[in-house]
Amino acid sequence: MTPSGQIDAGWRIAAARGRQGLTQQDLAQLAGVSLSLLKKIEQNSRPATADVRKAIARSLGMDEDELFAGIAGTPSKVHTAIPVLRRIIGSLDHPEDGPVRPLPQLVGATAALVDYRVASRYRRLSDELPDVLSELARAHSQAGADNERAAELLVQGLRAADGIAYKFGYLDLSAWIIERMRRTSEQLQNELVGAATAYVHTETFFATGDLAAAGYALDQAASRVSPTKSMAAAATYGSLHMRAAVVAARARKASSAIEHLAEAHQSAARVREGVYFGTAFGPSSVRVHEVAVAVELGDATGALRAAKDWAPPAELPAERRSHFYIDLASAQLWAGRRDRSLASLQSARQIAPQHVREHPRVKETTQTLLRLSRRPDAALVGFASWLSLI
């Protein structure tokens, strides 16, 4: 049997090639492979070797993990990195000796970690995170006059580490990382870094089910931000209310959720869509959260109405875009639109496969689709197999 990841790869290569207006001959020449080999790879009748995968991904201007997700063993790679992360987090106050690049270079390295996290490229993140995080810890301990900037970078690096820990179920490590984020951010005279940390701290309350504490923490963090001060301030303030809307909806407080969404909308009107202190925010992000809030409230009609005739733009980070389709799939399932529900899950998978594979709601929706289908078709069986549900 052909591995499901391999099947996805052939489809994704053909789709990416088509989007770029390339023929099979064009891509074969760019990648330095024979036309017959490329045809077999796209048809999934022959697997691509490691060298060929690199060449094809490079020719398409794509990350190899993104193009061939499911083949390279992302979960095992991430799990292998966890003990290393534990050791690094435990020694932040006394980091191991080693080189430290100039701060401008560390800014670029940290930005790359943020990009990997918001794009759900967990394998690449787990590859690069340990070394960069260790270096950020050394920079923070040696920074002197640049201590505040080094602390900001360390907070961002820790958030990238939490992106792995929380996503893959290491909740004790996630809580530990978040506590270190809080301790580091408290050293700063930057209300926005502190607010961004409060945003992440919500994960601890999600894990324990303490939604009241989560809502209170977000409200307190928002009260300390002046949204008219700058675009970054408006984005940070809006992102706190955006998450508070989800918290309120999960607690079945519909009116509170609507109020928080209204605050988020007002802030979004003042900013450009982008990633601010590690969180995507802007008009499109709020639109995605409208669907999420409706789903949390169990309101399929509201979710479908919020999603009607709209799709998240390509410039939105992959994780955020895939969330839209994951939530939409739930609403479509509740509305009896099973085929569309599966199609939405497949869209989410195309956008951010590593994120989708680990998302509990994806598994829940897929299991329900299987239960409701007396004779599941090949597409549903293939998707469920990819999730390791069957």
Domain 190-307 maps to which CATH number in 1.10.3470, 3.90.1200, 2.40.50, 1.25.40? Answer: 1.25.40
Rounded Cα distance, 157 and 172, in Å: 18
pLDDT at 49 over 90: no
Dihedrals phi, psi of 274, to nearest 5 degrees: -175, -175
Residue carrying the six token digits 């990648």: 31
Provide the whole-model pTM: 0.81
pLDDT at 93 over 70: yes
Pick 57 or 250 by higher pLDDT.
250
pLDDT at 320 over 90: yes
Buried b (16+ CB within 10 A) or exposed e, 351-389: bbbbbbbbbebbbebbeebeeeeeebeeebebbbebbee
pLDDT at 73 over 70: no
User: Average pLDDT for residues 273-300, to the nearest whole number?
Assistant: 97
Where do you find CATH 1.10.260.40 in the chain?
Answer: 1-72
Residue % of the chain over a pLDDT of 70: 95
3-state secondary structure of 279: strand
Pick 349 or 73 by higher pLDDT.
349
Rounded Cα distance, 375 and 280, in Å: 40
Rounded Cα distance, 321 and 356, in Å: 11
The rounded mean pLDDT for the chain is 91
pLDDT at 79 over 90: no
Where do you find CATH 1.25.40 in the chain?
Answer: 190-307
Say which CATH topology domain 1-72 has. 434 Repressor (Amino-terminal Domain) (1.10.260)
3-state secondary structure of 276: strand
Rounded Cα distance, 229 and 225, in Å: 9
pLDDT at 202 over 80: yes
Q: What is the pLDDT of residue 287?
A: 98
pLDDT at 70 over 60: no
pLDDT at 365 over 60: yes
Pick 44 or 29 by higher pLDDT.
29
Rounded Cα distance, 367 and 349, in Å: 16
Residue % of the chain over a pLDDT of 90: 72
pLDDT at 44 over 80: no
Length reported for the chain: 390
Instruction: Report the Cα–Cα distance between both ends of the chain, in Å, rounded.
Output: 14
Q: Which of 57-61, 173-177, 305-309 has the lowest mean pLDDT?
A: 57-61
pLDDT at 80 over 70: yes
159 Cβ neighbours under 8 A, 6+ residues apart: 114, 117, 181, 196, 200, 278
Q: What is the pLDDT of residue 66?
A: 63
